[in-house]
Amino acid sequence: MKQGLGRRALSLALSLALVLSLLPAAALAGSQDWLEAFFYDNNRMESYGFGTQDNMLVTDADGTIRFSVSAYVSLPGEAEATGLCLVDADSRAEKYDLLDPAYKPVQYDEDVFAVESYESDYSLSVWLQGFVIPNAALGDYRLKVVTTAGTFFSEAVDSPDFPSTGIVTVADGADYLNKPVIETSSLPMATMNRPYTCRLEARPCVEGAAITWSLAEGSLPNGLTLSPDGLISGTPTEGGASYAFTVAAAEAGGETATRAFSLYVG
């Protein structure tokens, strides 16, 4: 599971820290020229104490973003990590140096740069937690990692379990903090001709308010339906493909939130 490198760091959650290290990866072979990254919006904390993961970072009333990010990349050989920053998604011009002390939280671990290998395989693991950028400019960003083996930018990853666009959008919080928060970030894989159920979860802006689910764009795999209470269920009749769609969560007396999903049917 590619997001496992970030998940292994969950035991450090709520400790404001930066860890940047090169770790062995037994399951990885060779190298890649792109970086896989997952962003967590700490201005919209989940019920389990972790940031919302929907490829968006929303500003608070003062224009500040707070976020965590997990990432990794397979390397062609032994290397040193020398830089890490957010860049403009299109021009890839550097916008925020994430190693700048100005963006570090009050408490953080000492920066760690180390190289280890497993049977001549190398990988770079990044876990950034609790970072704060005031007066953040709205727009689309990528994560950039500079190593002595090359420079890597976050790119889209087509994974049935943890899809990632590679791009994070910094948006005005006024447009999002008054909406329900869709807490489901990914859907488990389905299997053709086998019953499937998955309940979507959302936290209302107003405690106790009812939420009604619907399909906003795209279509579910044949044989599956989405009920108003957020249950995806049925028996897929076709397999071997990923299905992209967007769901909407409408809060009674409030706003509507949407989220895009990809569901793979094997």
Q: What is the 3 state secondary structure string of the chain? A: CCCHHHHHHHHHCCCCCEEEEEECCCCCCCCCCCEEEEEEEEEEECCCCCEECCCEEECCCCCCEEEEEEEEEEECCCCCEEEEEEEECCCCCEEEECCCHHHCCCCCCCCCCCCCCECCEEEEEEEEEEEEECCCCCEEEEEEEEECCEEEEECCECCCCCCECCCEEEECHHHCCCCCEECCCCCCCECCCCCEEEECCEECCCCCCCEEEEEEEECCCCCEEECCCCEEEECCCCCCEEEEEEEEEEECCCCEEEEEEEEEEC
Q: Report pLDDT digits (tens) over 50-76.
A: 677 788 899 987 899 988 888 777 777
Domains of the chain plus CATH, in order, are 4-175 (no CATH), 181-265 (2.60.40.10)
Q: Report pLDDT digits (tens) over 195-246.
A: 999 999 988 877 778 999 999 999 999 999 999 999 999 999 999 999 999 9
Cα–Cα distance between 136 and 3 in angstroms, integer?
Answer: 26
Q: Report pLDDT digits (tens) over 113-131.
A: 233 344 456 777 777 777 8
